[in-house]
Amino acid sequence: MQKNNKNNNTKGSGEWAVEAKGIVKTFGENRAVDGVDLQVPTGSIYGVLGPNGAGKTTVIRMLATLLRPDAGSASIFGHDVVKEPHIVRQLIGVTGQYASVDESLSATENLMIFSRLLGLGKAEAKKKADELLEEFGLTEAAKRPLKHFSGGMRRRLDLAVSLIAQPPLIFLDEPTTGLDPRTRNQMWDTIRRLVKSGSTVLLTTQYLQEADELADRVAVIDHGQVVAEGTVNELKASIGTSSLHLGVQHDRQMQDARLIVERVLNVRSTVSTEGGKITAPMADVDRMTDLLIALRESDIQLAELSVQKPSLDEVFLTITGQGAGSSDEINNKSEKAVEV
């Protein structure tokens, strides 16, 4: 989807929507962003994946001219974020991690004020507001104060505001964190539509599955550094496989079951000591059908069965050789997302 316009050599026609070289941001002793390089091709969805506190928001804030990098340089469509901030602001839309709309105004008033700030006349602004409300399914709630908005409605309004000027590059900081699955899917659809209409999207996420669903390329960041970069498939190949967990109803069938699993999947399995569960790596989920049929044919009754994708923790384990900086909380979150 990259646009290589050969006839146009002017500044800003380059293929990179975002190009960051070694950007650094230090808060006191804490190097929140520690030399990040990014190259986002025009017309793509680019995912920045990382756990809480990895530095995702800080990266976005620097690229969106909200924070000045301490070192390194970054440009948006060839325009330097420090030297030409005003131009950069004409090319971007930013939807922050926390609602960046006006809490004390209604949805319509928010859209109107921001439209007018962007130079639209009163009538145009009204038209734009109505259009966007309609498009994001907020017409019903247009006049209500934002206090009574759900998380999903707020996010939608937030995104709607970012789209007023139809910017060619949109930053979305954790656009689906805290949304229920249905709203999250709607958000994904919206993001895909955006890219179809010619925008470039840079989004951050804590969820592997989200990056998987949306992003053409992904940068995994941890402790302020890019620890892996590539297409989703490249990344997946590097993080290993899902694992099968299987329990049988009658303990005496355990050994049989284990043999069948090993035979069908052609792998080695382990039995966990406490629960009496069989665990085996599962490269190809499609083999599941064969496995189930084989188990039924041998009259083995199952007590439980699950396939777990690698958690974000495992991704980090594989990529960095050490656990993701923080806690189980992240791990749980990512598993939850994967299961949905």
Partner 1 sequence: MDSTQIKPAHERKLRNKTSFRQSVRNSFIMAIRGLIKIRRTPEQLFDVTLQPIIFTLMFTYIFGGAISGDVQSYLPVIIPGILVQTVITTSIVTGVQLREDMDKGVFDRFKSLPIARIAPLAGALLADSIRYTIATVLTFTMGYVMGLRPEGGLGYVLIAALLVIGCAWAISWIFAFFGVIARTASSVQGISMIVLFPLTFLSNAFVPAETMPDWLQWFVKINPISHLVTAVRDLINAGSIGWDFTLSLVGAAIIVAIFAPLTVRTYMRKA
Ligand X SMILES: Nc1ncnc2c1ncn2[C@@H]1O[C@H](COP(=O)(O)OP(=O)(O)O)[C@@H](O)[C@H]1O
Residue with the shortest CB distance to Mg ion? 57
Q: And the tokens for 226?
A: 């890019």
Q: Which stretch binds partner 1 (CB under 8 A): 31-39, 94-102, 211-219, 250-258?
A: 94-102
Which residue number, 98 or 197, has a Cβ lying nearer to ligand X?
A: 98
Q: What is the DSSP letter of 106?
A: B
Q: Which of 23, 36, 40, 53 binds ligand X (CB under 6 A)?
A: 53
Q: At its nearest, how many Å lie between ligand X and the CB of residue 232?
A: 19
Q: At its nearest, how many Å lie between Mg ion and the CB of residue 236?
A: 24
Q: Which stretch binds ligand X (CB under 6 A): 48-56, 125-133, 146-154, 331-339?
A: 48-56
Q: And the tokens for 247?
A: 């329990």
Q: Which of 42, 44, 57, 311 binds Mg ion (CB under 5 A)?
A: 57
Q: Which of 4, 6, 10, 123 binds partner 1 (CB under 8 A)?
A: 10
* 56: contact with ligand X by CB under 6 A: yes
Give the residue among 187, 191, 195 at the shortest CA–CA distance from 150.
187
Residue 87, CA distances (Å) to 12, 113, 115 in order: 11, 21, 18
Which residue number, 58 or 311, has a Cβ lying nearer to ligand X?
A: 58
Cβ atoms of 63 and 74 within 8 Å: the answer is yes
Q: And the tokens for 270?
A: 């382990």
Q: Which amino acid is at 225?
A: Q
Interhelix angle 107-117/122-135, nearest 10 degrees: 130
* 166: contact with partner 1 by CB under 8 A: yes
Which residue number, 128 or 223, has a Cβ lying nearer to partner 1?
A: 128
Tell me the pairing of strands 169-173 and 92-95.
Answer: parallel
The rounded distance, in Å, linking the Cα atoms of 233 and 238 is 9
> Nearest-5° angle of CA 96, CA 97, CA 98?
90
Give the residue among 186, 188, 189 at the shortest CA–CA distance from 150.
186
Binding site for partner 1 (CB under 8 A): 3, 5, 8, 10-13, 17, 42, 61, 64-66, 76-79, 84-87, 89-92, 94, 96, 98-105, 109, 113-114, 116-119, 135, 145, 161, 163, 165-169, 193-194, 196-199
Binding site for Mg ion (CB under 5 A): 56-57, 97
Binding site for ligand X (CB under 6 A): 27, 30, 32, 50, 52-58
